[in-house]
Structure 1
Amino acid sequence: MLPDGKLASNANEFGQSQWLANVEGCSRDCKDCAQPLPDDFEPPAYTSVCDVITAKDGPLADCVDRVDSKQYRDDCVYDMVLNDGQKEAACGIISDYVAQCQRNGGCVKSWRTRKFCWMKCPAKMMYSVVAPGCPASCLAPSPSANCEIPPSEGCVCNPGFLLSQDRCVPLPRCGCKYNGRYIVSGENFYPDSDCQRLCLCRGGMVACEDKPCTGKKSCGVRKGVKGCYAASDLSI
């Protein structure tokens, strides 16, 4: 948007409209900037993948009147031409368009395919066009009824798995809640300030034993983890 309220015809025009002062070494001309497409430009056939943005009978039809679909499509065509037809250029624009549409309450249907803009997910996870904003996790196995984050594209745990920090695990391998902290299953930790008792989280249960630091090791924090370390380790 230009200062006068009109839309800029290209990025260069917008950049120049933000010029504050003439400074030595600065220029209004961007020699390395990509130039806008000519008015009579005929988009190559490969840019047809961008048509999904404005198609009123396509998977993103509900987005057309919720977001500036024409601008997104023009940007999609421009980026594809600029990147010699690489589909990845279109994927970024379409993904942004979908995200904005969903934030505006739009209903998005599946538009990705294995050959076009497919979203790869980590192990035990799968792609969903409407991933919940508050996914089921080891700390909250049931979906939150008061979630204020709208659904969006993303990866969700496979059926039978719950989110444990950044990965999905079956319920028996969920971690533990201890003094307000979430501890991953299998992790040892010292809950006290002077490393007197060592605890282990296993399958949702915490077991502790007296195990203070011995020898030349002392209680300290290394890389954010409290434990018994040699003096040389604590200096890292």
Structure 2
Amino acid sequence: MKCTGGKVYYSCGPSKDQPVCGGVTLPTNKGTDCIEGCFCPNGTVLHENKCIVKEECPCKFRGKYFLPGSTIPKDCNTCTCSEGSWICTEVKCRARCSAIGDPHYTTFDGKTYDFMGQCNYYLVKHDNFTIEAENIACAGSISLVKT
């Protein structure tokens, strides 16, 4: 039997799952002590039908592969490709809310709402402080600021 992609032939190879990049394993035959075939040598993993060392495993993001050491942004954090997995910083992201125009509101989690009523709305209500907005009808194209 001729093996390709860096695999080696074993007349009695491991019957357990063969390790692949990213930690997912490819199933092999179950219930037997060993099977004949081509396998990656010890210390290597399978990626696109080739055997490579785990440190060379790329990471996948939105259908594209990234080389080990590559970084991508995720919100206010940075993710780094390491051994086929993304390792991300865990910085707590800052957030803000807004009330703009006639009346458009954006919450801390980025959701937007439009409330057309003449009402008061809490923008922030916390133990130490409260921010409240009041919608009022305006008689023209310029908004009034009520203090």
* TM tier, smaller: 0.3 to 0.5
Larger Rg computed on CA atoms:
2
More helix by share: 1
TM-score by length of 2: 0.36
- Greater strand proportion: 2
